[in-house]
Structure 1
């Protein structure tokens, strides 16, 4: 079969209309499954309302066409569920169960709902079930390993339907409607062969075709491979292949025997490339992955991957870039072949090459966004052409398409334990590229998982500096999602690690973060104490810019506590620091904050004079938004003093500066209770980042 997009275990073919999906056989099973949807459940028979969604189970061995049958069922009934279909795979290619929290996170993201970084599994599954309340959706859960995975995601509404695919029964879920698969009927199996090989060879020897179906035990995956093998050999008779399979004896399953035959018929380089695809993260490979694993050119790798698609060994995934998936039923067979034919050292070397290639692609992906950085442009031009992206859009598309494989690469590299240096570089570049293209907020759920992996490596290798960095990053993400208690614990642990590493930057950063968290918790005394400790560290190292900023943070904490005298002293100290640094913009912002405190303290005349001075400094700094904010503050102060005419003049000046932005600007200002300047010297430490892993590019 050429380019037939075979389902993981199935018999669906591409190139067919929506009326004719290309699905073969299983007429009885489809009829029974559709009847089970309408059949009354146990609760209904007992006179109760069904509390949860109905579960249809399609059970069978890998390669039996269970995923294809589930897909065809969903296609046929989709019009009954106007809210759409959600799909998730509950097992890794090696059969390891996917954590339920990760699945729930992906499903929530597919629904376009916010996914808090680091949220607990129970919260994620509860949010997912809540999102399906009052909806009519189909949830297709493929490769379910156990009943617990399905139960945690089961919608709490009878209007939804769950179609689960598994090897065996899902004991523990009530009222499951099972459908167990065997082989295809002979007519459908022969038709599947004819679609691959052409009808002539089947027509001239129909008995041989039936014999081949019997040798393949009518299993769809085995028939696909047999058809691909015959399609590549147009002069070979169907009977010849059937004889070869019978000669193999009864060792292993029919799929195993056909797969061994196909592998043995490949040229040695192609056979080795096929085996090494067992190392592809998440079972997903692209030409770069195959090139790095096999040590060949990218063009040669793509040709080989396309040949594998024609043989039924791989299938292409939908998307703008070439990507291929190893069918789940073939993954354990590939693993067995690598163990039999390849030395562990060779596999480790191939894995290292793949990770190194991924690191370089991520470097290129990030560098193309830094168009104003001459050093980044020079580094990008020094890379091989095959590793360069033509545009930032192409790089973003690649990053989005490869996201599951990239995250899986990081997890596998950390689990390996022998490639920690490469793993740290991979995770560092993954964080930077993701933030460069999608921003910290949008990427936060993925970043949380990556930083936890960095922490695992740092603790395993006893790397206190990396441990501090990972804890700081995790603490930042916890703080942004409102988990302040967890964030405080992370920051304190980061402080211990930073001190052990004798890292002054991380030590000061951790102290400041502890203070900021106490401030968010409303404990202003502890906040000022920790800010003071961080200030002492900065002053001892002569870091005047950070010291001036910390004076502002201390003043802000005093302001929240209502200690306006201490707050004014703090802002005056910050002003002195910014004056020495000749930082005009920061000096103007600090003056604006001092004016605010004076207003809070009931000194409108002083606030008016300070605000007027701040306007002049903001003008020197060419900060139009700050000038407008200060004019609005002057207007408010003048109104309090009874000078409405002057207040009107300042409001008009602000309107001229901001134009159409004025209404939105005032709404933000009122919501924040400030001049809406996000970069004031009293802002939190989130803008001061620390690298999460090795600084090596």
Structure 2
């Protein structure tokens, strides 16, 4: 079902390739240019169905006492369900007014049936309520809960909730569930026209700003409730008004899931506005944190990709090179995670250029390392080593020791793949020394084990054996049972190649005992947790 299709160019890419599929496209005019279209002109409801729809809002008594007036009214409504619903809501709110009187009023107005019934309903509202109704035209997806309506109109949350419920009874909005209300699509253009006619642009922009600010605070609260008790975020949360707090993480997660389409639309609209970029950036940052806190980075990745694209749009528009670099790095990470190494490489190189323009050492260092990782993923060992070397030079200049150790290890890996075993061994030993100075014993043991692998590839099995034994000892000191077992198995393989199968069996047996011990400990811990 393609509802509200504008033209054939918009609808054609959405048509499925399966010739057995049926597509129903609703449009204001014919969709010329698409083959096999069977046009069907939709008119209004027949009089009997229209009167039944009217009766559902007014009750049967007023219709029964004057059936001819009811027929005249639905005729004035053109049989359009939207107009009939508004007429029924108007009558339901005025039990003393006759059906014939409403039909007469509609005849005195200009315009199509829907416009006339809408104008009548809008004019009948108190001024504050009419203002809330008009401002629904700028709510994301035309949806609003009490918080959104309150922020748009500048009234209390309770007043907004009551007004939205009244709108639902009048047929002006429909309930979307979980406290949300939606303005019907056929009314949004009419609401927008009234907004442009009655409200000054500065007032409308202020309403947008209030809505974005309220949404940011709700998202911050949504994320903060996932933090541990006593954390700074929870202390800050306790200072918010009760209406902006979520009782439990589960309540916050349900709110986030139900509001997700509207929140994403809100971010897109804020960026498209172009005049509220500071609020737009805060909104996107808060939305990214909330989605990640409740769903994890993997589950949120499809939404995060679009949100980082929005950040990039704002950064490019405003010339914010630091934020541009951050957005490109985030996009590159998502591309790399989903196997799009060439796309990731392009993002990372652009991030490096943006980081240089911003004079941001963190962004440039991270980008250079990520460019190297992309070339490594593509099997271009020469370029990977070159970019890792650039990143390492920057880390050495800033004395960032943990990053230095990691980059030495990455250089050792690509030199190993390239078959340059002398350079690979030098880098792995530098990585091992770096991890040892940092007190990272597992890292030190792993780097030594990789050095042993390189020595074996280089045809130096005796040296490999000694290095591997040293790695086993460091893994034992680190109390990393799995790593120790893996290294025992590597020792066994090396001893087999050196022609000592008896010693190899001893090391394999030792590895089996280590793994069995770890399994037993895990089972005991699991049993205790269940008890």
Regarding TM over 0.5, the answer is yes
Question: CA 1:306 to 1:381, structure 2 compared with 1: closer, same or farther past 3 Å?
Answer: same
SS of 1:158's partner is coil
**Which among 63, 70, 79 is matched to residue 218 of structure 1?**
79
What is residue 82 of structure 1 aligned with on the other side?
Answer: none
Cα offset, 1:400, TM superposition: 1.8
Q: Structure 2 regions of 5+ residues with no counterpart?
A: 523-531
Cα offset, 1:605, TM superposition: 3.8
Tell me if structure 2 keeps the 8 A contact 1:612–1:634.
Answer: yes
SS of 2:23's partner is strand
What is residue 172 of structure 1 aligned with on the other side?
Answer: 33
SS of 1:174's partner is coil
1:312 aligns with 2:171: yes
What is residue 365 of structure 1 aligned with on the other side?
Answer: 222
Tell me if structure 2 keeps the 8 A contact 1:508–1:534.
Answer: yes
**Which among 470, 485, 495 is matched to residue 613 of structure 1?**
470
**Which among 118, 133, 136 is matched to residue 259 of structure 1?**
118
Cα offset, 1:159, TM superposition: 3.0
- 2: distance between equivalents of 1:373 and 1:561? 51
What is residue 511 of structure 2 aligned with on the other side?
Answer: 651
Q: State the Cα RMSD in Å.
A: 2.0
Which deviations, in whole Å up to 9, do the C-alpha atoms of 1:507-556 show, x marking residues without a partner? 11111111111111211111111111111111111111111111111111
SS of 1:316's partner is strand
What is residue 529 of structure 2 aligned with on the other side?
Answer: none
Tell me if structure 2 keeps the 8 A contact 1:639–1:647.
Answer: no
SS of 1:180's partner is coil
List aligned pairs for 1:584-603, cutoff 5 A: 584-603=441-460
SS of 2:24's partner is strand
1:387 aligns with 2:244: yes
1:625 aligns with 2:485: no
- 2: distance between equivalents of 1:380 and 1:606? 59
1:524 aligns with 2:384: no
List aligned pairs for 1:347-496, cutoff 5 A: 347-371=204-228, 374-496=231-353
Higher helix share: 2
- 1: distance between equivalents of 2:182 and 2:487? 58
Cα offset, 1:345, TM superposition: 0.8
- 1: distance between equivalents of 2:138 and 2:467? 65
Question: CA 1:399 to 1:625, structure 2 compared with 1: closer, same or farther past 3 Å?
Answer: farther
Question: CA 1:359 to 1:628, structure 2 compared with 1: closer, same or farther past 3 Å?
Answer: farther
Cα offset, 1:657, TM superposition: 4.1
- 2: distance between equivalents of 1:596 and 1:381? 55
Tell me if structure 2 keeps the 8 A contact 1:588–1:617.
Answer: yes
SS of 1:575's partner is helix
Question: CA 1:354 to 1:559, structure 2 compared with 1: closer, same or farther past 3 Å?
Answer: same
What is residue 501 of structure 1 aligned with on the other side?
Answer: 358
Cα offset, 1:639, TM superposition: 4.1
**Which among 86, 99, 102 is matched to residue 238 of structure 1?**
99
Cα offset, 1:434, TM superposition: 1.5
Cα offset, 1:661, TM superposition: 12
What is residue 189 of structure 2 aligned with on the other side?
Answer: 332
List aligned pairs for 1:58-207, cutoff 5 A: 140-207=1-68
Cα offset, 1:323, TM superposition: 1.6
Which deviations, in whole Å up to 9, do the C-alpha atoms of 1:231-282 show, x marking residues without a partner? 122222111211221222xx22111111111111111111111111111111
Tell me if structure 1 keeps the 8 A contact 2:485–2:512.
Answer: no
Q: How many residues align?
A: 519
Question: CA 1:604 to 1:312, structure 2 compared with 1: closer, same or farther past 3 Å?
Answer: farther
Tell me if structure 1 keeps the 8 A contact 2:132–2:149.
Answer: yes
What is residue 526 of structure 2 aligned with on the other side?
Answer: none
- 1: distance between equivalents of 2:152 and 2:476? 59
Tell me if structure 1 keeps the 8 A contact 2:472–2:487.
Answer: yes
Cα offset, 1:149, TM superposition: 3.3
Question: CA 1:161 to 1:540, structure 2 compared with 1: closer, same or farther past 3 Å?
Answer: same
SS of 1:172's partner is coil
Tell me if structure 1 keeps the 8 A contact 2:2–2:11.
Answer: yes
Q: Structure 1 regions of 5+ residues with no counterpart?
A: 1-139, 663-697
Structure label with greater radius of gyration: 2
Tell me if structure 2 keeps the 8 A contact 1:575–1:590.
Answer: yes
What is residue 98 of structure 1 aligned with on the other side?
Answer: none
- 2: distance between equivalents of 1:364 and 1:612? 52
- 2: distance between equivalents of 1:628 and 1:292? 60
Which deviations, in whole Å up to 9, do the C-alpha atoms of 1:405-433 show, x marking residues without a partner? 11111111111110000111111111222
What is residue 21 of structure 1 aligned with on the other side?
Answer: none
Cα offset, 1:658, TM superposition: 4.3
Q: Which moved more, 1:515-524 or 1:145-154?
A: 145-154
Cα offset, 1:372, TM superposition: 6.8
Say which structure, 1 or 2, has more relative contact order (CA 8 Å, 6+ apart).
1
SS of 1:179's partner is coil
- 1: distance between equivalents of 2:241 and 2:473? 52
Tell me if structure 2 keeps the 8 A contact 1:273–1:293.
Answer: yes
SS of 1:317's partner is strand
Question: CA 1:285 to 1:607, structure 2 compared with 1: closer, same or farther past 3 Å?
Answer: farther
- 2: distance between equivalents of 1:661 and 1:442? 32
List aligned pairs for 1:2-41, cutoff 5 A: none
Which deviations, in whole Å up to 9, do the C-alpha atoms of 1:625-682 show, x marking residues without a partner? 33343344334434444234213313312431442999xxxxxxxxxxxxxxxxxxxx
